[in-house]
Amino acid sequence: MIWALNENREKVRAGPGGQGICPGCGGAVRAHCGDVRIWHWHHETAECDPWHETETDWHLKWKMRFPEEWREFWKAPHRADVAVRYGVVIEFQHSAIEPRDIQERETFWEDLVWVFDAREWFHNFEVRFKSDKTTFRWKHPRQSLFATTRPVYLDTGEEIFEMLFLGHKVPCGGTGRFIPYKHFLKLVKGNLQHKIDEAFGMGGK
């Protein structure tokens, strides 16, 4: 967690020896300030968000790319990673996730965009560049992603791969496109909703 509240209910960043209040549950949080990971807050007791997962540096670094006021948006009892100004919530997902959990989050967050950490498994994609589109075959797919109905972006470690269409057969395939990180950030910080509407309209193209 990047943000906590101080005794004056002001948002503060973690610092050595820091203690604060969770903006969601009001519980006590303590600063974790090591030499490797980005400084962050941990609950002194149990995490209040039932969807909580241990945050990696990958999560924290992605959050830091967005304006402060967009990070860690609370809608009780859940905390979104990022909420942009159009009301779109971005969830950064590192660990494996069950289809049931995907469906619950998509129901709770009305306008949700997924960014999955694919750095360790994107090599299972066989990408083919055609004159009119980019297609892929996905060996050993993460079948839980078949449950997604919202826009899906994959962090490959080199750039973003946007899934425009994902077939639900195994071996599965689909279409997509590569987006440089800086262009992806410009997309989500700008007219994201327009692009999301376009993506939904593309269907299986």
pLDDT in tens, 99-114: 999 999 999 998 899 9
Local structure of 119: helix, strand or coil: coil
What whole-number distance in Å separates Cα of residue 100 and Cα of residue 135? 28
Q: Find the range with the poorest average confidence among 71-75, 83-87, 97-101.
A: 83-87
Predicted TM-score of the model (pTM) = 0.79
Q: Look at the alpha carbons of 146, 150, 156, 160 in this order and tell me if their dihedral is positive or negative.
A: positive
Structure-token match 């262009």, residue found:
183
- Per the CB < 8 A criterion, the answer to whether 109 and 103 are in contact is no
